[in-house]
């Protein structure tokens, strides 16, 4: 520990010292899974990055996390830290599979634009001309909701009604949970709620929220303004978009994304469900013992969601890096999954400034602008953040430097923000 602190002091002394050392230090090897064609300068920067991330881990209750930095079409750094399984001390690596939460929505956006490319769908098509049931805005029944509204979070669809009031849940557990005398009450209450959930189809999920006969229906599931007028982030709108992918493609959403996205990108360890994941690579899921003042990570039973396309994708850093590289290539007109025009629609602003209320200059503000499920910050970053039971995540790239980064952890706590801060700093340094 003393040696680590000493080395960290040298790092914090300034980059001038680091660059001065380049005249005297050769290539220094560090324990990375994916480093390609690094210069001596980059090796020292990567060693510093490695140490700073280790320091974040040691000062946090996060069991583990993995990160990746990409530049142009190469992975500059990819590594796991800590544990995928605390009890068995299983290392968290760049091959460890973890849920990525709402980053999943960007795959819905890609699928939607593929169908636009194929001439099977128009973004301005009303969803009621596609769905086998009608979704009527109770306050503006004559204003149609379009596919474009769904993918830009302007559909007005929300989920204000709590399914617990109907004796059900949108999350269902896949494993039993054994309470002990030490299990916090907050944790036990959450588990009790999730036990109410059960598997239902995407259609059933949508209808429960949007049809007046649905037991999760409420007028408050629609924002009180016309579609297209205001950005309101929503899982429900995303899952309706996923259902439209199914209808227009004639395939399940799971099958479509596997055939048209995962396989072309060689994302062999990516799946929407645990049954399709490599069990030997799966991380354990953890939640804090107390949300406001977390002191320990508690293992949580595996779960899935009835609206899985909106936040249930399971993958690893190695696979997700391939995806980010394809998105960056697509932005520059060199992607293989979409036409140049469709990539531009996917990744460029689709709404006027007047649609947004919570705008600021923070580089990772994901409510500043939006493409097709991809957020756009004031800095011009294309990004998406994620958070759910057992995960915090982020993915982003800077079009100006053609570099970006991604990461996820297996415990959602604020310390994960420190991981992003460190990664962001070094992503910028390594892109120059």
Cβ atoms < 10 Å from Cβ of 334 = 12
Per-residue tens of pLDDT for the chain, all 432 residues:
334 334 443 434 443 333 333 333 333 334 444 444 456 778 899 999 999 999 999 999 999 999 999 999 999 999 999 999 999 999 999 999 999 999 999 999 999 999 999 999 999 999 999 999 999 999 999 999 999 999 999 999 998 888 888 889 999 999 999 888 889 998 999 999 999 999 999 999 999 999 999 999 999 999 999 999 999 999 999 999 999 999 999 999 999 999 999 999 999 999 999 999 999 999 999 999 998 899 999 999 999 999 999 999 999 999 999 999 999 999 999 999 999 999 999 999 999 999 999 899 999 999 999 999 999 999 999 999 999 999 999 999 999 999 999 999 999 999 999 999 999 999 999 998
Spatial separation of the C-alpha atoms in residues 239 and 102, rounded to whole Å: 11
Spatial separation of the C-alpha atoms in residues 269 and 97, rounded to whole Å: 7
pLDDT digits (tens, 9 = 90+) for 151-201: 999 999 998 888 888 889 999 999 999 888 889 998 999 999 999 999 999
Q: Which pTM does this prediction carry? A: 0.90
Spatial separation of the C-alpha atoms in residues 177 and 137, rounded to whole Å: 40
CB 26 within 8 A of CB 40: yes
For the range 336-341, what are the long-range contacts, defined as Cβ-Cβ under 8 Å and sequence gap of 24 or more? 336/264, 337/110, 337/114, 337/260, 337/261, 337/264, 337/265, 338/110, 338/113, 338/114, 338/117, 339/117
**Pairing of β 171-173 and β 74-85:** unpaired
Token pair recorded at residue 313 = 């994708």
Spatial separation of the C-alpha atoms in residues 389 and 173, rounded to whole Å: 11
For CATH 3.40.710.10, the residue range(s) in the chain are: 98-359
Backbone angles phi, psi at 388, to 5 degrees: -165, -170
Vertex 76, ends 326 and 39: CA angle to 5°?
135
Q: Which residues are bridge partners to 82 per DSSP?
A: 64
Topology, domain 98-359: Beta-lactamase (3.40.710)
Mention every residue, 6+ apart, whose C-beta is less than 8 A from residue 247: 130, 131, 132
Spatial separation of the C-alpha atoms in residues 258 and 40, rounded to whole Å: 39
Mean pLDDT of the chain: 91
Vertex 391, ends 390 and 396: CA angle to 5°?
175
């Amino acid at each position: 520990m003393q040696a680590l602190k000493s080395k960290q002091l040298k790092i914090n002394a300034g980059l001038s010292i680091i660059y001065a050392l380049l005249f005297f230090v050769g290539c220094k090897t560090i324990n990375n899974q994916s480093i390609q064609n690094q210069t001596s300068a980059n090796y020292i920067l990567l060693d510093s990055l490695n140490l700073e991330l280790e320091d974040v881990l040691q000062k946090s209750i996060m069991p583990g996390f993995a990160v990746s930095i990409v530049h142009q079409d190469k992975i500059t750094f990819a590594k796991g830290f800590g544990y995928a399984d605390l009890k068995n001390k299983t290392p968290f690596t760049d091959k460890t599979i973890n849920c990525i939460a709402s980053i999943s929505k960007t795959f819905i956006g890609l699928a939607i634009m593929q169908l636009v490319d194929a001439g099977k769908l128009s973004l301005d098509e009303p969803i009621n001309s596609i769905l086998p049931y009608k979704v009527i805005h109770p306050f503006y029944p004559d204003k149609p909701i379009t596919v474009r509204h769904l993918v830009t979070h302007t559909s007005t669809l929300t989920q204000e009604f709590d399914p617990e009031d109907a004796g059900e849940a949108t999350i269902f557990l896949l494993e039993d949970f054994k309470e002990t005398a030490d299990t916090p009450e907050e944790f036990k209450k959450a588990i009790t709620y999730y036990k109410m959930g059960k598997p239902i189809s995407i259609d059933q999920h949508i209808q429960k929220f949007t049809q007046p006969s649905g037991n999760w229906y409420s007028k408050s599931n629609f924002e009180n303004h016309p579609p297209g007028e205001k950005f309101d982030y929503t899982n429900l709108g995303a899952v309706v978009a996923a259902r439209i992918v199914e209808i227009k493609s004639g395939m399940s959403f799971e099958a479509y994304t596997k055939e048209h996205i995962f396989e072309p990108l060689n994302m062999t360890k990516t799946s929407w469900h645990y049954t399709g994941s490599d069990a030997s690579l799966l991380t354990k899921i953890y939640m804090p013992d107390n949300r406001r003042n977390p002191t320990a990570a508690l293992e949580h039973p595996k779960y899935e969601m009835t609206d899985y396309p909106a936040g249930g994708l399971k993958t690893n850093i190695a696979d997700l890096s391939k995806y980010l590289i394809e998105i960056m290539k697509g932005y520059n007109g060199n992607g293989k999954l979409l036409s140049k025009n469709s990539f531009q629609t996917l990744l460029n602003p689709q709404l006027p400034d007047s649609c947004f209320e919570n705008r600021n200059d923070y580089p990772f503000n994901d409510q500043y602008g939006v493409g097709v499920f991809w957020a756009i910050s004031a800095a011009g970053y294309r990004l998406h953040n994620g958070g759910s039971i057992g995960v915090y995540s982020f993915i982003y790239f800077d079009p100006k430097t053609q570099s970006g980064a991604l990461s996820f952890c297996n415990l959602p706590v604020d310390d994960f923000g420190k991981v992003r801060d460190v990664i962001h700093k070094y992503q910028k340094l390594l892109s120059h």
